Structure 1
Amino acid sequence: MSSESDHNIHIDVETDYIPEQSEPEANRFVFTYTITLRNDGKVPARLMTRHWVINHANGKIEEVRGEGVIGEQPYMRPGEGFRYTSGTILETPYGDMNGSYRMLADDGVEFDAEIPAFSLTMPNTLH
């Protein structure tokens, strides 16, 4: 019998606006996000798939699903982590993202590691 403490992936997010790739006059706002995952559980696990929900401030919602992250399916033993940077393009100067990673633990348990919502904001657009 497994418990939640057996399968626990901690996720931290840092974001950045990329002005040199953005074109505000064309409603193109480029952001990067750096994700740090850490296996705080008791069982090694592999990140199998990702699911993102990208919310633009104009009401547009995009969903992205795929295998792994940045072409990898990282394997993390308890206490180990994985860090990567990716990006997205919004039609608005701010929005947010959230989602989940589907994990497969060595004990055969599949579970979702929830990615908490985080803001993507062009500097000086929100007070």
Structure 2
Amino acid sequence: MATQITDGVKVSVETVYQPEYSNPENEHYMFAYRITIENLGDHSVQLLRRRWFIFDSNGSRREVAGEGVVGQQPVIDPGEQHEYVSGCNLKSDMGSMMGTYQMLREFDGSLFEVTIPKFNLIAPHRLN
């Protein structure tokens, strides 16, 4: 599990390869990831935007950005957490992702960026 804390917000990531949605013969490898965002601070925060950098071991790189996560812009109160599951497809059986969330501090309206730690996407057969 990859974990990082930025300005009182802890982001943890777990990944799993999804062979049932993958088709290696057509260079399609599907991975799911579970993100847990914990507010360790004293004030509520809201996740406004995400920005992902996706690296494939075949040398390709993609950037994906947009509002919220899986259609939500959650408010996370102090001591609370928000969890969601999403997915990523690669053209090879190994890669990685990393990124940032743009967050809003509700008490003063200030914006700040939270780092999503780099995590690996590796099909289990690559580990043998």
Q: Please report how far the alpha carbon of residue 124 of structure 1 lies from its aligned counterpart in structure 2 after TM superposition.
A: 2.0
Show the counterpart of 2:116. Answer: 115
CA distance in 1 between counterparts of 2:105 and 2:97 reads 25
Alignment RMSD: 0.9
1:57-68 matches, within 5 Å, as 57-68=57-68
Describe the SS at the equivalent of 2:12: strand
Q: Please report how far the alpha carbon of residue 126 of structure 1 lies from its aligned counterpart in structure 2 after TM superposition.
A: 3.1
Tell whether 2:13 aligns with 1:25.
no
TM-score (norm 1): 0.92
Describe the SS at the equivalent of 2:127: coil
Name which of structure 1's ranges 52-61 and 105-114 shifts more when overlaid on structure 2: 105-114
CA distance in 2 between counterparts of 1:108 and 1:75 reads 13
TM-score (norm 2): 0.92
Show the counterpart of 1:70. Answer: 70
Show the counterpart of 1:93. Answer: 93
Q: Deviations over 1:25-67 (max 9, x none)?
A: 1100000000000001122110000000000001100000000
CA contact (8 A) 1:8 1:113 kept: no
CA distance in 1 between counterparts of 2:123 and 2:25 reads 13
CA contact (8 A) 1:18 1:30 kept: yes
Aligned length in residues: 121
Describe the SS at the equivalent of 2:20: helix
CA distance in 1 between counterparts of 2:41 and 2:99 reads 20
CA distance in 2 between counterparts of 1:16 and 1:126 reads 13
Show the counterpart of 1:43. Answer: 43
CA distance in 2 between counterparts of 1:43 and 1:104 reads 10
Show the counterpart of 1:54. Answer: 54
Percent of aligned positions with the same letter in both sequences? Answer: 43
Q: Which runs of 5+ in 1 are unaligned?
A: 1-6
CA contact (8 A) 1:56 1:95 kept: yes
CA distance in 1 between counterparts of 2:114 and 2:78 reads 15
Q: Deviations over 1:88-120 (max 9, x none)?
A: 100010100000100001121111110000000
Show the counterpart of 2:10. Answer: 10
Q: Please report how far the alpha carbon of residue 8 of structure 1 lies from its aligned counterpart in structure 2 after TM superposition.
A: 1.6
